[in-house]
Amino acid sequence: MSTQTRIDRRFAELKREGRPGLVTFITAGDPDLETSKQILFGLPAAGADVIELGMPFSDPMADGPAIQASSLRALTAGQKMRDTLDMVAEFRKQDQDTPIVLMGYYNPIYVYPNDKFLVEAREAGVDGLIVVDLPPETDDELCIPAAEAGLNFIRLVTPTTDEKRLPKVLQNTSGFLYYVSITGITGTAAPDVNKVHKRIELIKQSTALPVAVGFGVKSAEQAKALGAVADAVVVGSALVGAIAQNLNEDGTSTSKTVPAVLDLVGSLAAALRAV
């Protein structure tokens, strides 16, 4: 991509400020559209530097119980891809600077279909995509068309990505690289900070892209420890867990739902700003 994106600008700002960024994940439409909007619109002021907005899907195979449940809540509430794009467009009316990355699985994009999705995502103000079930061998399917549409395509690197595989993963990646800190699904284990540090140091020998660390980060202490070596820390399961813990018995939102999430974001942001 020849032009600088919001993601590029945000990571350049973080580098100038000498601090790691906070990347927050929520699922669009969880627990309902209006509550999800309130959380989304409040994230930048709470301290989020980049926002990952999950595209609800019925079979989120890489995700643990917390994010699976958030996707189910959103789908049950009627969330559609059009609603998710409209959320981003509405967000852009008040915030032109905070990057938004749509994260999820290929099926909801494929059935939209691809060409229409890329045009409408760009028009809405989406900055990048993370599509966890599209390997580099399928770059012609969505990755390259997304780049041509002006969207960053962000790849995952895992603890099992070896030196032979890494160049292939990096080939068409842009924006930042997402390092999965554990082997397994999201939110089910705590990362080993020392192992993550060593792995990121090796990855950085192969790319100038910023590296964000996610999967399993639940506390401010963990975020701070990982932020000492990563360019950003991604927190998702803890945030959707805060939503789940502050719902009525029937799964509807309460007066505590939005503040609980934003307060947690604030504590995570404060920890990372202290690195």
Ordered DSSP codes for 128-196: EEEETT--GGGTTTTHHHHHHTT-EE-EEE-TT--TTTHHHHHTT--S-EEEE-SSSSTTSS---HHHH
pLDDT of res. 193:
81
Res 185 pLDDT > 80: no
- Per-residue confidence (pLDDT) for residue 2, from 0 to 100: 58
On the question of pLDDT at 149 being above 70, the answer is yes
Q: Token pair 């041509």 is at which residue?
A: 148
Q: Is the pLDDT confidence value at 54 over 90?
A: yes
pLDDT of residue 61: 82
- DSSP annotation of 97 reads S
118 in Cβ contact with 106 (< 8 Å): no
- The helix (H) or strand (E) run that includes residue 66 is helix 65-76
Mean pLDDT of 231-258: 96
Residue whose C-alpha is closest to residue 215's, from 27, 25, 49: 25
Q: What per-residue confidence (pLDDT) applies to 10?
A: 98
Work out the pLDDT band at 11, boundaries 50, 70, 90.
very high
206 to 11, 96, 164, 179: CA distances (angstroms): 18, 32, 11, 14
Q: What is the pLDDT of residues 116-146, one digit of tens each?
A: 999 999 999 999 999 999 999 999 999 999 9
Number of H helices, E strands in the chain: 12, 9
- Give the model's pLDDT for residue 3: 78
**272 vs 166: CA distance, rounded Å:** 28
Looking up tokens 């060593």 gives: 198
Neighbours of 229 (CB within 10 A): 19
Mean pLDDT across 34-39: 98
Q: Examine the pLDDT at 1 and tell me if it is beyond 60.
A: no
Q: Is the pTM of this model over 0.85?
A: yes
Average pLDDT of 144-157? 97
Q: Which residue has the tokens 């998710």?
A: 84
Question: What percent of the chain has a predicted confidence (pLDDT) above 70?
Answer: 96
6-273: CATH, from 1.10.40.30, 3.20.20.70, 2.60.40.420, 2.60.120.10: 3.20.20.70
Domain range list for the chain? 6-273
Q: Which residues are catalytic?
A: 52, 63
Q: Provide the pLDDT confidence category of residue 189 given band limits of 50, 70 and 90.
A: low
